[in-house]
């Protein structure tokens, strides 16, 4: 246990700046290219539904389960008061969860605590696995968690750091695109029961307000996360 603790708490040196920037460009390409986004979007969905689930537990709602679907959509089932702060916070947590998770990951990664970040991700995936209520969701989480575990087990620490930077950039950038897609669907009337529209019914604030709030949170996380991840040159104000 002492060796594990030392591994977790020992800060790693950041990779060269060109590696950080290359990981950002790679993540941007994955998010913007439709084919790669269709494959990788499920990772954002896992973070999205995890945000709903964690907030439901924190607001003392009864969490009934999580479902992840092959079309990269998902649903988190909770039981409790159909209105009130708990329900509002739970509904609002999904679209901002990937960006907030990315911001937390940016802080850990930029501080050199890559091992802690990887351990936290694996623990969160295991906790979600207990709550999954469909086969595809189980397979998705096992595949994701297994790939992360295998990669970090066999790869040297320097490669782990590159993976961490790539994953954090992906969450920061990937947290923005679903919000834009949500508004596009709402504009064409194809998302009447979206989180934003549920919040509109719960709060009497228009759905567009909630979409704008989601986008603002994602943008702030992206800008501040980039500030943490990309070291500024000496003497830069």
> What is the gyration radius of the CA atoms in the chain, in angstroms?
18
Are residues 63 and 56 in contact, defined by beta-carbon separation less than 8 angstroms? yes
The span from the CA of 107 to the CA of 100, in Å, is 11
Q: What stretches in the chain show pLDDT beneath 50?
A: none
The domain spans of the chain are 44-61+81-227
Q: How much is the pLDDT for 29? A: 97
Which residues, listed in sequence order, are joined to residue 62 by a DSSP beta bridge?
A: 79
φ, ψ dihedrals at 231, nearest 5°: -65, 135
Residues 6+ apart with CB under 8 A from 39: none
The span from the CA of 154 to the CA of 39, in Å, is 24
Which residues, listed in sequence order, are joined to residue 74 by a DSSP beta bridge?
A: 68
Write the Ramachandran bin of 33: left for phi over 0, alpha for psi from -120 to 50, otherwise beta.
beta
Q: How much is the pLDDT for 156? A: 84
Q: How far is CA 143 from CA 4, 44, 135, 151, in A?
A: 24, 15, 12, 12
The span from the CA of 208 to the CA of 213, in Å, is 9
Are residues 134 and 67 in contact, defined by beta-carbon separation less than 8 angstroms? yes
pTM: 0.93
Q: How much is the pLDDT for 151? A: 87
Q: What pLDDT, in 10s, does the model give residues 118-174?
A: 999 999 999 999 999 999 999 999 999 999 999 888 888 788 899 999 999 999 999
Q: How much is the pLDDT for 236? A: 55
φ, ψ dihedrals at 114, nearest 5°: -65, -40
The span from the CA of 19 to the CA of 23, in Å, is 6
φ, ψ dihedrals at 225, nearest 5°: -60, -40
Q: How much is the pLDDT for 12? A: 82
Q: How much is the pLDDT for 4? A: 65
């Amino acid at each position: 246990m002492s060796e594990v603790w030392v591994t977790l708490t020992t800060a790693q040196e950041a990779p060269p700046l060109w590696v950080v920037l290359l990981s950002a460009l790679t993540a941007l390409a994955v998010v913007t290219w439709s084919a790669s986004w269709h494959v990788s979007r499920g990772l954002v969905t896992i973070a999205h539904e995890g945000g709903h689930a964690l907030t439901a537990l924190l607001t003392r709602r009864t969490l009934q389960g999580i479902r992840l679907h092959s079309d990269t959509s998902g649903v988190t089932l909770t039981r409790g008061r159909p209105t009130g702060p708990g329900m509002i916070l739970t509904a609002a947590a999904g679209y901002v969860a990937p960006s907030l998770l990315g911001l937390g990951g940016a802080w850990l990664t930029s501080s050199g605590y890559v091992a802690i970040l990887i351990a936290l991700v694996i623990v969160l995936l295991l906790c979600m696995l207990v709550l999954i209520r469909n086969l595809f969701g189980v397979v998705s989480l096992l595949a994701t968690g297994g790939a992360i575990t295998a990669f970090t087990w066999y790869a040297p620490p320097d490669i782990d750091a590159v993976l961490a930077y790539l994953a954090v950039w992906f969450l920061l950038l990937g947290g923005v695109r679903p919000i834009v897609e949500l508004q596009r669907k709402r504009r064409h009337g194809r998302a009447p029961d979206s989180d934003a529209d549920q919040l509109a019914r719960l709060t009497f604030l228009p759905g567009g307000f909630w979409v704008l709030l989601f986008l603002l949170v994602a943008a702030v996380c992206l800008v501040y996360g980039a500030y943490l991840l990309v070291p500024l040159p000496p003497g830069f104000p």
